[in-house]
Chains A and B, each alone.
Chain A
Amino acid sequence: SQELEQSPQSLIVQEGKNLTINCTSSKTLYGLYWYKQKYGEGLIFLMMLQKGGEEKSHEKITAKLDEKKQQSSLHITASQPSHAGIYLCGAGSGQSGTYKYIFGTGTRLKVLA
């Protein structure tokens, strides 16, 4: 079965620093979704990537999907304490009738002021 592996598992950065989180799939991704979760709360949708080589940005967060559609990266520029939380990637897998939506293992980000 398909799995999504995220790295690193946790990250502590100083405010103002750039950082990258990776999401790697064992199979081709049919839509890659990035979410953010604040501790003890629900997930908030950030961005969706569908095409190989696609890149999207929202404020200081940029997400990319590689050409082979098996790896995505989330890059935060000039991190702020408000960026702290758990970042999860999600993706669809399987064929019609056996469709599964799976989530990655998550990356816990802490930003030091």
Chain B
Amino acid sequence: ETGVTQTPRHLVMGMTNKKSLKCEQHLGHNAMYWYKQSAKKPLELMFVYNFKEQTENNSVPSRFSPECPNSSHLFLHLHTLQPEDSALYLCASSQVRGLNQGAKNIQYFGAGTRLSVL
């Protein structure tokens, strides 16, 4: 148990559906992240939130919409996805986000949501 909970663990959706992924952390952290992990590809950072403010969006298509209502919760809203969006979506949190912060930069990950887009 890492202190980061993701739901659902598995999701199958059609290309016209709208769904949301949820992430909750019980660690008192201030930074939260969404990652995409596809087969045989490096981990891709999608979004970063620091103190509830979005600080990074790594050229993610607009069909992915993040939301961070507070420091403990992070959502990823999905709509009109494509089959190539099928992947493992991972949420993570860290105490802070910044240079030379040592242990405060350690990221704690949820178990992920396995998404299949039909």
Q: Which residues of A contact B (CB under 8 A)?
A: 30-31, 33, 35, 40-45, 48, 50, 88, 90, 92, 94-96, 99, 101-106
Contact = CB atoms under 8 A, between A and B. Distances in A.
B118 interface: no
Contacts of A43: 90, 92, 107, 109
A101 B105 contact: yes
Contact of B111 (A33, A41, A92, A104): A41
A90 B107 contact: yes
Interface residues of B, number: 25
B102 A42 contact: no
Interface of chain A: mostly helix, strand, loop or mixed: strand
Interface in B1-60: 2, 4, 6, 42-43, 45
B77 interface: no
